[in-house]
């Protein structure tokens, strides 16, 4: 066994390539050493202090959908360095290794307590869940698929925003996905979005804020601009719970904050209420 994997700091991205090989993690909230099995059983919420750890896209889907019900769509799609942007290929390669995914979003169709639903989940381990052309395309295709088949969509967001390395191709994904969300909505279909930590930038300013029902994980950072940008440009100290899910709910932009252990049941209930 690789010794350096025996103890890992469980930060916002504890599920990197080393995580599953290790037996213990240190919670970044309380600093306690925790058995991985115990953390996993508690859905990656620290059993000691309640801190929410990051969850990779595929596990997120497992946590929210019925066992063996998930069929992936567009798994093969990979980004290319269309602008010949410096160091982008290396970053993509590192992201693929770290996340064990081809891109920053996993899409497909699944059942949630028996309700059929199109699902996408973003992955923070892939370049901070940034949205390039492939992420935008996969989510657009999922909405188009859901529109054609009259399926609801569940989206789990985590993203730093548009991916700089693809320039305007990235920014315009916001427009592309928004248009597909709109068509899905025009068809009378339900879109539930679950905002997780962090959902910011161009994703916050597009499909993360276009759900019929907007749920959030406790403590998740949700906002357009990064807090450091604001602090730096305004030279003012920020309120303690600034851009946190609880505060965002108080401001009127989230319907409900749902603990991880209750998310699947909550989503199933919403699907049932909409007759989906």
Partner 1 sequence: MEDYEIVKGARGDRRYTATDYIRKMIPDFMELHGDRLCGDDRAVVAGIGTLGKTPVTVIGIEKGKTTAERIRRNFGNAHPEGYRKSLRLMKQAAKFHRPIVCFVDTAGAFCGVDAEEHGQGRAIADNLYEMADLPTPILSLIIGEGGSGGALALCHSDRIWMLSDAYFSVVSPESCANILWKSTEKAAEAASALALTAPKLYRMGLIDRVCPADEKRKLAAEMEEELRLLSELPTAELLDARYRRFRKVGY
Least separation in angstroms between CB 59 and partner 1: 26
Q: Which is nearer to partner 1, 44 or 145 (CB)?
A: 145
* Residue-by-residue DSSP string for 147-203: HHTT--EEEEEEE--B-GGGHHHHHHHHHHHHHHHHHHHHTT--EEEEEEEEEEHHH
CA-based angle 147:172:116, to the nearest 5?
20
**CB-CB neighbours of 97 under 10 Å:** 12
Size of the site for partner 1 (CB under 8 A): 60
Least separation in angstroms between CB 139 and partner 1: 11
Q: Name the burial class of residue 4, with classes exposed (0-12), middle (13-18) and buried (19+) by CB atoms within 10 angstroms of its CB.
A: exposed
Least separation in angstroms between CB 83 and partner 1: 5
Q: How far is the C-alpha of 170 from the C-alpha of 81, rounded, in Å?
A: 12
Q: Which of 122, 193, 123, 121 is nearest to 152 (CA)?
A: 193
Site stretch for partner 1 (CB under 8 A), options 2-10, 112-120, 241-249, 267-275: 241-249
Residues 60-99: x where in contact with partner 1 by CB under 8 A, - otherwise, as a string: -----------------x----xxxxxx------------
Task: Record the tokens describing residue 241, joined without a space.
Answer: 């719970």
Rg (C-alpha) for the chain, rounded Å, is 18
Q: Which is nearer to partner 1, 197 or 204 (CB)?
A: 204
Binding residue (CB under 8 A) for partner 1 from 117, 162, 192, 213: 162
Measure Cα distances from 239 to 40, 61, 167, 235, 247 in Å.
32, 33, 33, 13, 10
Binding residue (CB under 8 A) for partner 1 from 3, 76, 188, 233: 233
Q: How far is the C-alpha of 234 from the C-alpha of 31, rounded, in Å?
A: 33
Q: Looking only at residues 132 through 151 of this chain, which bind partner 1 when binding is defined by CB under 8 A? A: 132-134, 136-137, 140
Least separation in angstroms between CB 170 and partner 1: 5
Binding residue (CB under 8 A) for partner 1 from 14, 104, 152, 201: 201
The site for partner 1 (CB under 8 A) is made up of: 77, 82-87, 132-134, 136-137, 140, 162-164, 166-176, 178-183, 186, 201-202, 204-210, 222-225, 229-230, 233-234, 236, 238-239, 242-243, 247, 251-253
């Amino acid at each position: 066994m690789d010794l350096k994997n025996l103890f890992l700091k469980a930060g916002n991205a504890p599920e990197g390539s080393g995580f599953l090989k290790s037996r213990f993690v240190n919670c970044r909230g309380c600093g306690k050493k925790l058995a991985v099995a115990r953390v996993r059983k508690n859905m990656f919420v620290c059993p000691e202090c309640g801190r929410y750890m990051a969850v990779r896209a595929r596990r997120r889907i497992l946590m929210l959908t019925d066992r063996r019900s998930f069929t992936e769509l567009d798994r093969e799609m990979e980004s290319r360095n269309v602008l010949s942007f410096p160091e982008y290929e290396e970053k993509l390669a590192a992201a693929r290794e770290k996340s064990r995914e081809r891109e920053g979003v996993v899409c497909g169709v699944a059942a949630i307590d028996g309700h059929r639903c199109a699902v996408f989940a973003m992955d923070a381990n892939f370049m901070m869940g940034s949205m390039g052309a492939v992420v935008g395309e996969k989510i657009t295709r999922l909405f188009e698929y859901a529109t054609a088949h009259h399926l609801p969509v569940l989206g789990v967001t985590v993203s730093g925003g548009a991916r700089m390395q693809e320039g305007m191709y990235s920014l315009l994904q916001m427009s592309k996905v928004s248009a597909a969300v709109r068509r899905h909505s025009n068809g009378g279909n339900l879109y539930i979005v679950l905002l997780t930590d962090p959902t910011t930038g161009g994703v916050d300013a597009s499909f993360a804020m276009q759900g019929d029902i907007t749920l959030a994980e406790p403590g998740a950072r949700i906002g357009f601009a990064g807090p450091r940008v604001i602090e730096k440009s305004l030279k003012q100290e920020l309120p303690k719970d600034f851009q946190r899910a609880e505060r965002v709910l108080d401001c009127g932009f989230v319907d409900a904050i749902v603990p991880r252990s209750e998310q699947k049941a909550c989503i199933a209930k919403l699907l049932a209420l909409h007759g989906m």
